[in-house]
Amino acid sequence: MDVARLVHAPAFRALRRVAAEGLGVQLVVVDSDGALAHRRGGVLEAVSPPCRAALFTPRGFERCDAFYERLGAPQPNPQDGDLARDRPCPFGLSARSVALSGGLTLVASGYVHGAPGQVDAIALAEVGVEAPELDDAAQRAPRPGVEGLGLLDALLAACRDVLTTSTPSPEDATKSSPRMAHVGRMLERYASSDALVLITGETGAGKHHAAWALHDASAGQGAAFVSCRLGAVQPELLEATLFGHTRGAFTDASRASDGLLGAARGGTLLLEEVGELPERAQALLLRLLAERRYRPVGASRERTLQARLLATTRLDLREQVKRGALREDLYYRLDVLRLELPPLRERLEDLPALLQVLARARDLVLPPLSSEALRCLQRYPWPGNLHELAAEAARLAAAGATEVRPADLSPAVRAAGGFAHEGSFEAPASAPRKLADAIAALEREMIIDGLERTQGNRSQLAAELDISRTTLIERLHRFSLMDR
């Protein structure tokens, strides 16, 4: 079971939001090493006020981590799906868990219920939570009650179903076109090598999905998969982010960090858009690739690289070298094994299958395509590739028709097939829509287009849309777009 991918699935993220916003409870997948999020370069969200107060203290983080390790420890006779009773966390709150296959456990934690069933003021004070913050956290601690616990158990059962049902990805539907059949053969060949693979292709061509496929085939399911766009990291934090740091290595280093390389140990580190790396990042990466060793900030000893490295780029790296934007010596280190992904317009045979896969990945049901609608889809050039196709799949699923007709398609796709005058500004009679739904659909489309245009730069997109970055993040959560 590839939980590392499924924990980012839209269905699971939606259930996590229900738990967080409705019950104030954090859902976490753990094994005997603790929370999977930690080993993938992430942190717990700490939606419960007492958890939030404790987690961001050095000793509180250690206690929480040890608690999750205990919950993820192998059980003598685990029963898949059996719910555990409430178990007190180090700070007196409760946790409830459900066993998954593969030695994994899904935990819901951070609420008050049962014995001891109260926030432990002494334990929180021991880790440095001050009295005013403690009082506020205790008063706002979630108390779901009997009905809330029933809902929580239902959520855990739903999450278990999501995490134990494999979700196909776009590369699973790529056997029709000769170009993608070739990509599949190269994936199999490169999986047996530990050399860096450079994955190239236009924005939205599926580079991230190809990286996941390589990771699954080489490192194996359950191994860490960490991705990062180093070009977006602040220059002063770059070395610590990549290599990690010791406690006290700099002013804000209240605890040690393994960095991205440590989080990916035993698995895969994906470096996104290496054609846009700043000069400092290029130097660090060149040394890492040349020596296969690195030193965390503040450490006295070097460490050996123990992760498979993959890289993606939408740019022509040779051209970047000519322009002086990329070091030539780094280029030769990056361009070892190359995997070129064709744009969607060069693999139109895959369109029907890809539409279904992209719809299922978002828990949507797509009606069958009419021959006229398929003609439109296959005559459109798809400049946004899979990102644009995913938006089209969402639009078609929301149409509510029993069969997709040209009138259900977006205007540009409709026009490509010669049906420019089909459809109208009014919703079809078969798909009544509320004004709020139409506005939400338009908002989502604008955000998807903006993320594509700004290459994921959220601050720039918020400025373009004339909204705050906080509002944009809220919309990304609402529309299940946080992974874009």
- Where does residue 430 rank: exposed (0-12), middle (13-18), buried (19+ CB within 10 A)? exposed
Q: Are strands 308-313 and 197-200 parallel, antiparallel or unpaired?
A: parallel
| Three-state SS at 192 | coil
Query: In this structure, are 178 and 137 located in the same domain?
Result: no
Asked if residue 484 is part of any domain, the answer here is no
Asked if residue 109 is part of any domain, the answer here is yes
State the Rg of the chain over Cα.
24
What token pair was written down for 371?
């021959």
Spatial CB neighbours of 213, under 8 Å, sequence gap ≥ 6: 169, 171, 187
Query: In this structure, are 257 and 297 located in the same domain?
Result: yes
Query: In this structure, are 417 and 307 located in the same domain?
Result: no
Domain end (from 144, 163, 182): 163
Query: In this structure, are 324 and 221 located in the same domain?
Result: yes
Asked if residue 407 is part of any domain, the answer here is yes
Domain CATH code at residue 206: 3.40.50.300
Concatenated DSSP letters for 432-483? ---HHHHHHHHHHHHHHHHHHHTTT-HHHHHHHHTS-HHHHHHHHHHTT-TT
Cα–Cα distance list, 457 to 273, 363, 388, 463 (Å): 13, 27, 18, 10
Query: What is the C-alpha to C-alpha distance for residues 342 and 347, in angstroms, rounded to an integer?
Result: 7
Spatial CB neighbours of 94, under 8 Å, sequence gap ≥ 6: 86, 87, 88, 109, 111, 112, 113, 114, 117
Instruction: Say if residues 393 and 359 touch (Cβ distance below 8 Å).
Output: yes
Query: In this structure, are 434 and 474 located in the same domain?
Result: yes
Residue 42 confidence (pLDDT): 45
Query: In this structure, are 120 and 42 located in the same domain?
Result: yes
Instruction: Say if residues 406 and 392 touch (Cβ distance below 8 Å).
Output: no
Query: In this structure, are 55 and 21 located in the same domain?
Result: yes
Asked if residue 82 is part of any domain, the answer here is yes
Residue 14 confidence (pLDDT): 72
Query: In this structure, are 138 and 181 located in the same domain?
Result: no
Domain end (from 309, 342, 375): 342
Contacts of residues 421-428 at CB distance under 8 Å and 24 or more positions apart, as own/partner, are 428/399, 428/400, 428/401
Cα–Cα distance list, 456 to 50, 273, 393, 432 (Å): 33, 12, 21, 33
Instruction: Say if residues 141 and 93 touch (Cβ distance below 8 Å).
Output: yes
Query: In this structure, are 11 and 150 located in the same domain?
Result: yes
Residue 41 confidence (pLDDT): 40
Show the low-confidence residues of the chain (pLDDT under 70): 1-11, 36-45, 56, 58, 74-86, 101-102, 114-117, 164-176, 219-222, 420-441, 483-484
Residue 152 confidence (pLDDT): 84
Query: In this structure, are 396 and 445 located in the same domain?
Result: yes
What token pair was written down for 191?
């999986």
Asked if residue 483 is part of any domain, the answer here is no
Instruction: Say if residues 313 and 173 touch (Cβ distance below 8 Å).
Output: no
Residue 360 confidence (pLDDT): 78
Cα–Cα distance list, 89 to 77, 210, 437 (Å): 23, 39, 41
Instruction: Say if residues 208 and 270 touch (Cβ distance below 8 Å).
Output: yes
Domain end (from 313, 342, 371): 342
Query: In this structure, are 315 and 384 located in the same domain?
Result: no
pTM of the model as a whole: 0.58
What token pair was written down for 361?
């990945």
Residue 329 confidence (pLDDT): 95
Cα–Cα distance list, 274 to 158, 221, 270, 302 (Å): 38, 26, 10, 24
Query: What is the C-alpha to C-alpha distance for residues 350 and 282, in angstroms, rounded to an integer?
Result: 37
Residue 84 confidence (pLDDT): 58
Counting the structural domains of the chain, the total is 3
Q: Which domain holds residue 281?
A: 170-342
What token pair was written down for 451?
């993320």
Query: What is the C-alpha to C-alpha distance for residues 101 and 58, in angstroms, rounded to an integer?
Result: 32
Asked if residue 269 is part of any domain, the answer here is yes
Query: In this structure, are 236 and 183 located in the same domain?
Result: yes
